[in-house]
């Protein structure tokens, strides 16, 4: 790779992007490819496939965001993992290193959740200011970038043992849409990356590079243009503005803990649904007393994490679910909106496995004794699936600033979350169906497992047609501050039933196009 | 095998000096050992009885009959430290008090697992119990040596993944 470009701290012509994951990393590359100068600031370090570790706890220590966070609300994570509400990554490439690769488009009706579902008591549902037709070409580009299997002429992945158990049970129950998914994991060599070697450890970073991650695709390609500088170990503390309310740059702590100031023509925030609102709130000033871009009071609100849970089944004979691609298996029949089931929205079943160390930590946190250990004793004979469904946005499920401070003295994010009755009804339905799937294949025991620390963190800077209802417009542009953008999953208006990364990538590609056009037109 | 030692005492010497303590054996001189003296753990800060109690607690919290005591001993060895001494001492005293209330001489003196589990349930909300239980989640299950007992194969990249090693070899469906 050519030596990446360096930009001056005083260069006020650059676009500053905060965060380098699926949103920020893709946006950085897409802008760089269009000739836009970009400085991307990443709080974590830089790790590549050769650095990733096939060991759950060791990898967690390498990649996970373990800076302090606090929690509240009635979700079980707040009790069992009070300081770890999310399992996400702090590294160049962000959580695109950790994600499992499931790449599903939203269903058409999910862009219009409020219209489709109607008013749901206690929920702050809203339609996206976007729709299916508008997003279709951006999804096409995102799928081509990620090399998604099962679309674009690319074959699906082969089914693992864990998939075969899921498939047989699903078909026995009469489910129709059952396959190995649409995965950003190469089924054949694609885009200079080899095909999946069925290694497992998808969550620990793909050592083959068969799974798409911004860490080793978009980031180095953006750097190769000479238009992108990525500064790692750069923790952004505050976004600065002038007396006209326009953003002028950011203050960040560099790798030595020194406070630096980078000037900017515009700032795009892509730090995940905890860090992005935290940064806006920590950027409060006399002009923006409630936080930057927070005239609506919506910054931090409507935090969504998908209605999740897992079901494990124990069988008479070995399954060895850890072998092979972790999440290449899906049942989509329950993803439809069908209120006759007792809830609005839908959910997916996807294959999942954890190794023994994480299974011990997450199967039933806090429990002990033989009920727990006999389940682990049958680990080799276990199959696993994950439930991922649309959860209801609620105004009080929100990120606020905590009393706790981080190593730089900045207030950390407090994450308050409580399930909506719709979430509970959906999860219970999924538990029952998931257990029935495994029983249909002869499971001797089934384990409806509680949600893990969140991996799908959404909302908190949501997109809205009207400025009063959200934080950003249909381009991810702040309703209040014209040269401030949100470029990650925090801009999601609603969560849909699908794993969010493909949509985050599609929105980032689309946003890059918009920003480049606005810059050319002199509008920013 | 950090924390375990087979040095210093012969198997015969261990056995000859042994005094039974629950499933384990206190051999004096800062050692506790398996009754067959196949391994021993040295203690420096806490007492032999306390270490033996911790090992029994660890097994009763996460009982796996195919996992030997030495792995539980490794999992709780870190409590043998000056800064943990007071917590361990107070915690075990409370545990033994709960055992007395239940009609046993001490926690480890209760012969049936069900009786010991009932004693543990009575203290399970205490910080001491929660600290020990929480520590075991990684202290026990992150020992690579026990993974094969669960069938778990661990790292696979260096062996080329499972593409040619059975990722889809299920034959009973």
- Tokens 């709960």 belong to which residue? B98
Pair of tokens at residue B75: 């999992």
Cα–Cα distance measured from residue B41 to residue B7, given in angstroms and rounded to the nearest whole number: 10
Cα–Cα distance measured from residue A145 to residue A143, given in angstroms and rounded to the nearest whole number: 5
What integer is the mean pLDDT of A425-447? 98
Contact A377 B161 (CB under 8 A): no
Cα–Cα distance measured from residue B95 to residue B117, given in angstroms and rounded to the nearest whole number: 11
- Tokens 């990120």 belong to which residue? A399
Query: Which residue in the set A158, A197, A380 is minimally distant from B161, CB to CB?
Result: A197
Q: Does A357 touch chain B (CB under 8 A)?
A: yes
Query: Which residue in the set A366, A373, A379 is minimally distant from B62, CB to CB?
Result: A373
Give pLDDT, residue A4: 74
Contact A323 B150 (CB under 8 A): no
Residue B131 lies in a domain: yes
Pair of tokens at residue B28: 């004096």
Q: Does A355 touch chain B (CB under 8 A)?
A: yes
Query: Which residue in the set B62, B153, B170 is minimally distant from A319, CB to CB?
Result: B170
Residue B62 lies in a domain: yes
Task: Provide the mean pLDDT of chain A.
Answer: 97
Contact A164 B138 (CB under 8 A): no
Assess whether pLDDT exceeds 70 at residue B45.
Answer: yes
HEC string for chain B? CCCECCCCCCHHHHHHCCEEECCEEEEECCEEECCCCCCEEECCCCCHHHHHHHHHHHHHHCCCCCCCHHHHHHHHHHHCCCCCHHHHHHHHHHHHHHHHHCCCCCCCCCCCHHHHHHHHHHHCCCHHHHHHHHHHHHHCCCCHHHHHHHCCCCCCHHHCCCCCCCCCCCCCC
Contact A444, A315 (CB under 8 A): yes
Cα–Cα distance measured from residue A237 to residue A250, given in angstroms and rounded to the nearest whole number: 7
Cα–Cα distance measured from residue B53 to residue B128, given in angstroms and rounded to the nearest whole number: 13
User: Min CA distance, B161 vs chain A (Å)?
Assistant: 4
Q: For residues B12 and A64, which has the higher predicted lDDT (pLDDT)?
A: A64
Q: Does A244 touch chain B (CB under 8 A)?
A: no
Cα–Cα distance measured from residue B48 to residue B121, given in angstroms and rounded to the nearest whole number: 24
Cα A39 to its chain centre, rounded Å, is: 22
| pLDDT tens string A192-228 | 999 999 999 999 999 999 999 999 999 999 999 999 9
Cα–Cα distance measured from residue A37 to residue A226, given in angstroms and rounded to the nearest whole number: 8
Cα–Cα distance measured from residue B109 to residue B95, given in angstroms and rounded to the nearest whole number: 12
Give pLDDT, residue A281: 98
Assess whether pLDDT exceeds 50 at residue A261.
Answer: yes
- Tokens 């490794």 belong to which residue? B74
Residue among A140, A145, A1, A27 at smallest CA distance from A94: A27
A197 contact residues in B (CB cutoff 8 A): 160-163
Give pLDDT, residue B40: 77
Contact A376 B64 (CB under 8 A): yes
Contact A377 B66 (CB under 8 A): yes
User: Min CA distance, B35 vs chain A (Å)?
Assistant: 24
Give pLDDT, residue A306: 98
Assess whether pLDDT exceeds 50 at residue B4.
Answer: no
How many contacts (CB atoms, under 8 Å) link A and B?
114
User: Min CA distance, A145 vs chain B (Å)?
Assistant: 25
- Tokens 């770890």 belong to which residue? A84
Pair of tokens at residue A197: 């070697």
Cα–Cα distance measured from residue A489 to residue A508, given in angstroms and rounded to the nearest whole number: 10
Q: Does A284 touch chain B (CB under 8 A)?
A: no
Give pLDDT, residue B2: 39
Contact A168 B173 (CB under 8 A): yes
| pLDDT tens string A34-58 | 999 999 999 999 999 999 999 999 9
Q: Does B169 touch chain A (CB under 8 A)?
A: yes
Assess whether pLDDT exceeds 70 at residue A188.
Answer: yes
Using only the alpha carbons of chain B, give its radius of gyration. Answer: 18
Contact A197 B141 (CB under 8 A): no
A324 contact residues in B (CB cutoff 8 A): 161-162, 167-168
Contact B152 A319 (CB under 8 A): no
Give pLDDT, residue B3: 41
Contact B167 A201 (CB under 8 A): no
Contact A161 B151 (CB under 8 A): no
Assess whether pLDDT exceeds 70 at residue B12.
Answer: no
Contact B61 A368 (CB under 8 A): yes
Element (H, E) at A72: strand A70-72
Confirm or reject CATH 1.20.1260.10 for domain A15-49+56-520, answering yes or no: no
Contact B168 A373 (CB under 8 A): no
| Burial class for B68, CB neighbours closer than 10 Å (0-12, 13-18, 19+) | middle
Q: Does A161 touch chain B (CB under 8 A)?
A: yes
B28 falls in which pLDDT band (50, 70, 90)? Answer: low
| pLDDT tens string A361-400 | 999 999 999 999 999 999 999 999 999 999 999 999 999 9
Q: What is the ipTM of this complex?
A: 0.95
User: Min CA distance, A55 vs chain B (Å)?
Assistant: 6
Tell me which DSSP letter residue A257 carries: S
Cα–Cα distance measured from residue A491 to residue A494, given in angstroms and rounded to the nearest whole number: 9
Give pLDDT, residue B5: 45
Contact B173 A197 (CB under 8 A): no
Q: Does A356 touch chain B (CB under 8 A)?
A: yes
Element (H, E) at A56: helix A56-63
Pair of tokens at residue A256: 């030595």
What integer is the mean pLDDT of A280-298? 98
Contact A360 B140 (CB under 8 A): yes
The pTM of this model reads: 0.95
- Residue A99 CB partners (closer than 8 Å, separation 6+): A22, A211, A213, A455, A499, A501
| pLDDT tens string B118-167 | 999 999 999 999 999 999 999 999 999 999 999 999 999 999 999 999 99
B26 falls in which pLDDT band (50, 70, 90)? Answer: low
Q: Does A322 touch chain B (CB under 8 A)?
A: yes
Chain B residue nearest residue A160, CA to CA: B168
Contact B153 A323 (CB under 8 A): yes
Contact B151 A319 (CB under 8 A): no
Domain range holding B126?
46-159
Residue B8 lies in a domain: no
A325 contact residues in B (CB cutoff 8 A): 167
Give pLDDT, residue A3: 65
Query: Which residue in the set B60, B64, B152 is minimally distant from A322, CB to CB?
Result: B152
Contact A356 B152 (CB under 8 A): yes
Q: Count how many domains chain B has.
A: 1
B42 falls in which pLDDT band (50, 70, 90)? Answer: confident
Contact A297, A46 (CB under 8 A): no
Strand order, beta sheet including A484-486: A228-231, A38-41, A15-18, A266-269, A484-486
- Residue A415 CB partners (closer than 8 Å, separation 6+): A69, A70, A71, A72, A73, A85, A86, A274, A303, A399
Give pLDDT, residue B7: 45
Using only the alpha carbons of chain A, give its radius of gyration. Answer: 22
Query: Where are the alpha helices (H) located in A369-479, listed in sequence order?
Result: 370-377, 421-439
Query: Which residue in the set A197, A325, A356 is minimally distant from B147, CB to CB?
Result: A356
| pLDDT tens string A96-147 | 999 999 999 999 999 999 999 999 999 999 999 999 999 999 999 999 999 9
Pair of tokens at residue A314: 């124990």
Residue B98 lies in a domain: yes
Residue B123 lies in a domain: yes
Query: Which residue in the set A159, A372, A377 is minimally distant from B168, CB to CB?
Result: A159
Contact A27, A367 (CB under 8 A): no
Assess whether pLDDT exceeds 70 at residue A14.
Answer: yes
């Amino acid at each position: 790779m050519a030596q990446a470009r360096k930009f001056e701290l005083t260069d006020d012509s650059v676009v500053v992007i905060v965060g380098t994951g699926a949103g920020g990393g893709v946006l950085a590359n897409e802008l760089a490819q269009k000739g836009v100068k970009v400085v991307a600031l990443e709080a974590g370090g830089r790790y590549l496939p050769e650095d990733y570790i096939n060991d759950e706890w060791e990898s967690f220590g390498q990649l996970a965001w373990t800076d302090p966070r606090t929690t509240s609300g009635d979700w079980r994570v707040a009790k069992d993992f009070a300081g770890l509400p999310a399992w996400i990554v702090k590294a160049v490439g962000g959580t695109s290193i950790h994600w499992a690769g499931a790449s599903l488009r939203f269903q058409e009706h999910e862009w219009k959740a409020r219209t489709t579902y109607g008013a749901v008591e206690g929920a702050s549902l809203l339609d996206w200011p976007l729709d299916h037709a508008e997003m279709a070409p951006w999804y096409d580009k995102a799928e081509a970038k990620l090399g998604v299997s099962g679309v674009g002429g690319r074959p699906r992945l082969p089914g693992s043992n864990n998939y075969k158990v899921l498939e047989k049970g699903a078909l026995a129950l009469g489910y129709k849409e059952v396959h190995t998914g649409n995965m950003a994991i190469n089924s054949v060599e694609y885009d200079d990356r080899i095909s999946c070697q069925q290694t497992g450890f998808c969550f620990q970073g793909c050592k083959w590079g068969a799974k798409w991650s911004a860490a080793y695709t978009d980031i180095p390609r953006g750097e190769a243009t000479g238009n992108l500088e990525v500064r790692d170990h750069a923790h952004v503390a505050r976004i600065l503005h002038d007396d006209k309310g326009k953003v002028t740059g950011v203050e960040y702590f560099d790798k030595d803990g020194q406070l630096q100031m980078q000037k900017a023509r515009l700032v795009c925030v892509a730090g995940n649904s905890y860090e992005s609102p935290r940064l806006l709130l920590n950027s409060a000033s006399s002009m923006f007393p409630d936080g930057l871009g927070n005239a609506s009071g919506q910054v931090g609100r409507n935090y969504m994490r998908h209605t999740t849970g897992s079901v494990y089944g124990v069988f008479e004979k070995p399954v060895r679910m850890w072998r092979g691609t972790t999440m290449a298996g899906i049942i989509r029949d329950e993803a439809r909106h069908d209120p006759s089931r007792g809830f609005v929205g839908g959910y997916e079943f996807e294959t999942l496995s954890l190794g023994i160390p994480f299974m011990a930590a997450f199967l039933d946190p806090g429990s002990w004794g033989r009920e727990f250990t006999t389940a682990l004793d049958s680990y080799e004979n276990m199959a696993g699936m994950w439930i991922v469904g649309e959860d209801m946005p609620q105004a009080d499920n929100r990120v606020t600033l905590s009393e706790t401070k981080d190593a730089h003295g900045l207030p950390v994010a407090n994450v308050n979350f409580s399930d909506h009755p719709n979430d509970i009804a959906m999860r219970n339905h999924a538990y029952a169906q998931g257990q029935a799937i495994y029983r249909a294949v002869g499971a001797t025991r089934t384990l409806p497992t509680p949600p893990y620390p969140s991996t799908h963190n959404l909302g908190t800077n949501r997109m809205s047609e009207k400025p009063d209802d959200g934080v950003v417009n249909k381009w991810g542009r702040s309703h209040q501050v014209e040269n401030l953008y949100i470029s990650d999953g925090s801009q999601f208006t609603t969560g849909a039933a699908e794993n969010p990364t493909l949509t985050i990538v599609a929105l980032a590609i689309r946003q890059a196009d918009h920003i480049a056009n606005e810059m050319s037109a002199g509008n920013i | 095998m950090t924390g375990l030692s087979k040095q210093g005492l012969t198997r015969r010497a261990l056995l000859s000096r042994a005094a039974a303590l629950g499933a384990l054996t206190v051999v004096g001189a800062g050692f506790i050992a398996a009754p067959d003296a196949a391994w021993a753990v040295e203690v420096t800060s806490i007492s032999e009885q306390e270490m033996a109690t911790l090992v029994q607690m660890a097994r009763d919290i996460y009982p796996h009959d195919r996992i030997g005591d030495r792995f539980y001993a490794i999992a709780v060895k870190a409590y043998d430290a000056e800064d943990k001494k007071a917590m361990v001492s107070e915690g075990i005293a409370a545990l033994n008090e709960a055992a007395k209330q239940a009609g046993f001489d001490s926690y480890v003196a209760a012969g049936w697992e069900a009786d010991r589990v009932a004693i543990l349930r009575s203290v399970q909300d205490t910080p001491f119990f929660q600290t020990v239980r929480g520590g075991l989640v990684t202290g026990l299950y992150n020992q690579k040596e026990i993974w094969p007992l669960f069938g778990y194969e661990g790292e696979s990249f260096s062996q080329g993944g499972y593409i040619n090693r059975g990722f889809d070899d299920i034959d009973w469906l």
